[in-house]
Amino acid sequence: MAETDEIIQMHGADGAGNKYPTTLAEAVLMEKNGDKTIVDALKESGGSSIPTPGMVLFTGSASKDSAKLKMQGPENVTVQTSNGSIATLCQIGGFKVLRKTGGYPTGPDDTEATLVIDVPFSDNKKYAETPYVDTGLARTTTYYYAAYVYSDNGRYSTNAAKLELTTHDYTCYGYRITESVSVPSSMVTEIPDGEAEYNLSNKGYTPMHMDYSSGKMNWGSWKGDEFIFPRSCAVKYDTTVDYYLNENDESKKLDGTASDYKNASYAGNMMVEFGRNNTIIWKKYKSTGTAGVYDIYLADQKIDDNFTAYAFMRSDGKFAKHFYLPKYFGYSTGGKLRSISGTSGTVNTTMATERSTAEANNISGDDSWGLITKSMWDLYGDILTLLGMSTDSQTVFGYGYANSNSSAIFNGTMDGKGMFWGENDGRQGVKALGIENPWGNLWRRIDGWHQGAAGHTLIKLCKGTGDGSTASNFSDAATGYIDINDEGQACSGYISKMKYDTRGFRYPIACSGSKTTYYADYKWTNTGTAAIVGGGWHYGLTYGASCVHLADTPSYSSSDYGSSPSCQSKEELSA
């Protein structure tokens, strides 16, 4: 038998037809055929066989009952032969992940360990960016994971990649704001290991961003069913959900039948619902002790007494199971401020009119409907910052209809585009968390944020006095609101610093940025004014999720000023 035939019989070939040895003795046969480079490579490996390499990536994070694993196996081990061709020394078959409680798996054949997943070489990079989700885990339990790479002839790597993860009784996401950093995407970072107060489930996550070349949202590591994501729905005037909408086709309910998304006679509104699986969104702002450095936490439980949830707090001080933001800009008909597709936003109204028509959605004796509140708007922006890991919402999610346009576009322009959609020319609009044009197109007046005398911000976070105010309801005069006398509040310009109040609200305190730096949004300021947010159709990159206009009185009206309804469910959060 020829020596070349012996090589083929002993060792086979890889997918490209290249012969490969597994021991130094066997490789000598290839040396006789002129492949001395292979023998040198084997000798340098320090053994008589080619070791199977270990994992390239193996990290993860745990939540209440699942773990997300980012992982990538190695490439084949190859070498350039003396004649210039590429020979494969170790053909990778794949890798498998095992987990165990009480200690790490003892090896790839540990019968007491649970096989989590066996990943073939063809899927080597599948979970490098989008993590694999290991579900069905017990709460408050430590799991020990080990990843073993194996070659196509069954030889395992000698050193397993190991990972210890502990599930907990809550899910918490977090990020850090460092205001000394001017680049918006670098200003927002993960909270460093050892500095986070809680186990964070978004460790190692890839942020979301709009892919403008494909016209589709890149979801990064997010799936869209996490507790911070809302659901589009039809909410009746009694605050019960009639049905949920198809996120990709608002003309249909989830069951495929026709919806009322354009029906102005429908006894309710098209909204997005926050609060999932009997959990609401609790928030904590924490100063790290370093000026301008804040840690922001969003959790599905009140982990400690520093977490607040004013967006869900009802006038009686109890927590609603859900709160709802409008899918569409407010449209006034029949004395009610509605959220209906196919309509034009109602403008040239005063704040008092906007508030009364929003509250007209209430059934007799109820106070669940009203204008969007500051606490709701702040939470909406906090979620977007978390998802995109940037303070520049226009770059991450879409420019918005704001580039020197001459008039507003109709409600429903972004129907059928999913929960997120955006463009970067400023001519078509933006959709984020199911809400059309949260910035650009038309300014939205919100309740609970006024500018009083110079240096005084007046805040109210919810109806009732559970927020620490003395006012039972919102008003144009802001009587009984929380009065904050802080530095820099009278500034106008691109926002460069915020004050993150531990009571769960934030406001700009410095305005020395630009349209591409820091918060990348503009603030206008004057005394005796009420907040409008988001931006209109014409001033371009001044707008975004943090943009605020505190320069006009509540009684001022304009062709690009209006508002929208919100509501809280009468159903309370169960204990």
Q: 27-46 pLDDT, tens per residue? A: 555 555 555 555 555 555 54
Q: Within a 10 A sphere around the Cβ of 26, how many other Cβ atoms?
A: 17
Name which of 537, 515, 307, 525 is nearest 443 in CA terms.
Answer: 537
Whole-prediction pTM: 0.79
Q: What is the pLDDT of residues 112-149, one digit of tens each?
A: 999 999 999 999 999 998 899 999 999 899 999 999 99
HSE value, Cβ hemisphere, 13 Å, CA-based, for 531: 28
Tell me the C-alpha distance between 382 and 385, whole Å. Answer: 5
Distances from the Cα of 39 to the Cα of 17, 175, 429, angstroms: 19, 51, 63
Tell me the C-alpha distance between 84 and 35, whole Å. Answer: 10
Q: Is the pLDDT of residue 12 over 80?
A: no
Q: What is the pLDDT of residues 301-327, one digit of tens each?
A: 999 999 999 999 999 999 999 999 999
- In this structure, of 25-29, 87-91, 357-361, 473-477, the range with the lowest mean pLDDT score is 25-29
Tell me the C-alpha distance between 503 and 555, whole Å. Answer: 29
Please, which pLDDT band fits residue 9 given cuts at 50, 70 and 90? very low
Q: Is the pLDDT of residue 378 over 60?
A: yes
Q: Where are the beta strands (DSSP E) in 185-311?
A: 188-189, 209-211, 216-218, 231-236, 241-246, 249-253, 268-274, 282-287, 293-299
> CA triplet 396, 402, 405: central angle to 5 degrees?
150
The mean pLDDT of the chain is 91
Q: What is the pLDDT of residue 193?
A: 85
Side chain identity at 194, as an amino acid letter? G
Instruction: Report, as an integer, the average pLDDT of 215-234.
Output: 96
Q: What is the pLDDT of residue 498?
A: 95
Q: Is the pLDDT of residue 464 over 90?
A: yes
Cα 90 to its chain centre, rounded Å, is 40
Structure tokens at 486: 């802080």
Q: Is the pLDDT of residue 106 over 50?
A: yes
Q: Which residue has the tokens 């540990």?
A: 110
Side chain identity at 536, as an amino acid letter? G
Q: Three-class SS of residue 120?
A: strand
Q: Is the pLDDT of residue 564 over 70?
A: yes
Tell me the C-alpha distance between 93 and 152, whole Å. Answer: 4
Q: What is the dihedral of CA 524, 530, 534, 540, to 10 degrees?
A: -30
Q: What is the pLDDT of residue 453?
A: 84
Q: What is the pLDDT of residues 357-368, one digit of tens each?
A: 999 999 999 999
Q: Which residue has the tokens 């039809």?
A: 234
Q: What is the pLDDT of residue 36?
A: 54
Task: Please compute Rg for the chain using Cα positions.
Answer: 29
